[in-house]
Amino acid sequence: MTAVQPVRSEVRRAAVQDRSAIAAVLAAAFHADPVFEWVLPDPARRAAVLPRFFALTVDALAHHDDTWTTGRPVLGAALWVPSGQPAVPEDEAAGFGAALVEVAGRDGERMLEVVALLDEHHPADPHEYLWFLGVTPQAQGRGIGSALMGPVFDRADPAGEPAYLEATSARSKALYERHGFVAQAPISVPGGPPIWPMWRRSVS
């Protein structure tokens, strides 16, 4: 049987009541991600920590109103930061970082290493920033991840705005390359897996 491809109308801006479902979907999507496997090496702890990690992240980005998801049930989500805006306001950044470390518990030091690496390499030029994109494992391969990027591409391309992200697995890197992202040289923390900074120039 051929998988049914999602249509653009199934992608919508997330609502407040979607936040817990989005956090759960992203936790499932990233459970086998190489970077999270390195940060949280114990699978049971990872399963317990990731829903809380993503709940914090979803809440921290909510003020942007730029999180996109599917029609119900929630099968995936894309967490975007609009061009020219910080992911988290400067006066909230320290508290957000401390909350992430607290959630990570004994793995907090590795969490900090990754966060510091990404901050160090984050570009200063304005860009649409895709912080996280994930689809629940049982719904992967149906084009949902591609569809979730569409609304931001629709506004970025006419405006000439580039998009930026960090791919944390070879599989996600390949997905983004199919949508015009170009990988830069990989970066990593000592002993950690590669992370690929990726740019997508606007498509006019």
Quote the number of domains for the chain: 1
In a domain, 156, yes or no: yes
What percent of the chain is predicted at pLDDT more than 90?
Answer: 86
Contact 76, 25 (CB under 8 A): yes
In a domain, 6, yes or no: no
In a domain, 185, yes or no: yes
Q: Given a cut of 90, is residue 42 above it in pLDDT? A: yes
Of 124, 203, 204, 114, give the one whose Cα is nearest residue 166: 114
Domain that holds residue 23: 13-200
What integer pLDDT is reported at residue 202 of this predicted model? 73
In a domain, 7, yes or no: no
Reduce the DSSP state of residue 36 to 3 states and report it: helix
What integer pLDDT is reported at residue 1 of this predicted model? 37
pTM over 0.75: yes
Of 25, 24, 29, 31, give the one whose Cα is nearest residue 45: 31
Confidence of residue 10 (pLDDT cuts 50, 70, 90): confident
In a domain, 163, yes or no: yes
Using one digit for the tens of pLDDT, what is the confidence trace for 56-115?
999 999 999 999 999 889 999 999 999 999 999 888 888 998 999 999 999 999 999 999
Question: Mean of the pLDDT values across residues 36-46?
Answer: 97
Looking at residue 195, which CATH number applies to its domain?
A: 3.40.630.30
In a domain, 139, yes or no: yes
Q: How many CA atoms lie within 13 A of 33 on its CB side?
A: 27
What integer pLDDT is reported at residue 7 of this predicted model? 43
Beta-ladder partners of 187: 195
In a domain, 168, yes or no: yes
In a domain, 189, yes or no: yes
Question: Mean of the pLDDT values across residues 121-137?
Answer: 96
Mean pLDDT of the chain: 93
Q: In what order do the strands lie in the sheet with 67-70?
A: 11-13, 67-70, 76-81, 128-135, 163-167, 196-200, 182-183
Torsion of CA 84, 183, 93, 103, to 10 degrees: 150
Of 132, 137, 114, 168, give the one whose Cα is nearest residue 29: 137
Alpha-carbon distance of 82 to 37, in angstroms, equals 28
